[in-house]
Amino acid sequence: MRYFKLTIAYDGTDFHGWQVQPNGSTIQGEISGVLRRITQENIALHGAGRTDSGVHAHGQVASFRTQSALSAQEFQRALNAILPAAIRIVAAEEVGPSFDARWSARGKIYRYRIYRGRVVPPMLWRYVLHYPFPLDEEAMKDGAARFVGTHDFASFAASTGSEDDDKERSTVREIYSSELARTPDNEELVYTVRGRSFLRYMVRKMVGTLLDIGRGKLTPPDIDRLYELRDRAKSGPTVPPQGLCMVEVQHEEAWRVGAP
């Protein structure tokens, strides 16, 4: 048995998220289907995270095992030859049996783009939230910094759909860095966050909360209060998915084949 790691980029606009769904095309479903065609095996593809419908990726990571004799480079070429153009395998490598795209991850980076100009260029509308109205960006930057550290993010997460499950799950997460900055062309406000793992809708709720701070509906210290409240109705709205992108999933180099 051999083990492989894929680094994947995709435009999530026309897909129903990462995870296989009974109805609708998904990133995991598309890649799994092509792997089955290539190997004639029932391949189980495991992703580092489940991006939602409309969310994009530059560096999603997935892993699978196979008895195929194909090299990593041959898998990459074959996948890119068959997959829709909106999904690209940007890297493929053989790894050791202990590697798992999700459980071996040590950090994830997400980025959310807010377009501040009056008119969104046609080539950008799929990838940004358009918000041309006044914002207190300095207050938003202060708020962003307050996400760093280990906190209970219950106020910034979607419900599981079950009250019992909501009570049982842990909503404590560690954020390594959290920054808001203008792009060099001054047209976009970009939020970049890095953490070990994230709850569903967590980044989008965090951005919605920062926007409410920018609009004056909340203040930066309110973020500390929201940790204590554990009430998602009190935080900002869940912003639309198209501005969000999974930029990178970080793994330790020791998982590579032949690493000491």
- 100 in catalytic set: no
Tell me the DSSP string of 121-146: -TTTTTT-EE--S---HHHHHHHHHT
**What is the DSSP pairing of strand 244-251 with strand 56-66?**
parallel
Q: Please report the pLDDT score of residue 254 as a whole number.
A: 45
Residue 162 has pLDDT above 90, yes or no: no
Residue 260 has pLDDT above 60, yes or no: no
Task: Give the rounded percent of residues in the chain with a pLDDT score beyond 90.
Answer: 89
Neighbours of 181 (CB within 10 A): 13
For 194, phi then psi, to 5°, come to: -130, 130
Q: Please report the pLDDT score of residue 188 as a whole number.
A: 97
Q: Please report the pLDDT score of residue 23 as a whole number.
A: 86
Residue 92 has pLDDT above 50, yes or no: yes
Q: Please report the pLDDT score of residue 166 as a whole number.
A: 56
Decide if 203 contacts 110 (C-beta within 8 A).
Answer: yes
| pLDDT tens-digit map of 130-159 | 999 999 999 999 999 999 999 999 999 987
Q: Kindly report the pTM of this predicted structure.
A: 0.93
By CB neighbour count within 10 A (0-12 exposed, 13-18 middle, 19+ buried), where does 122 fall? exposed
Q: Please report the pLDDT score of residue 201 as a whole number.
A: 95
Residue 252 has pLDDT above 90, yes or no: no
Tell me, what DSSP letter sits at residue 182? E
Handedness of CA 250, 102, 100, 93 (dihedral sign): negative
Residue 14 has pLDDT above 80, yes or no: yes
| pLDDT tens-digit map of 30-49 | 999 999 999 999 999 999 99
| pLDDT tens-digit map of 56-72 | 999 999 999 999 999 99
Given 11, 14, 52, 136, the catalytic residue:
52
Q: Please report the pLDDT score of residue 22 as a whole number.
A: 85
Task: Report d(CA 215, CA 132) in Å as an integer.
Answer: 12
- pLDDT, greater one: 210 or 253: 210
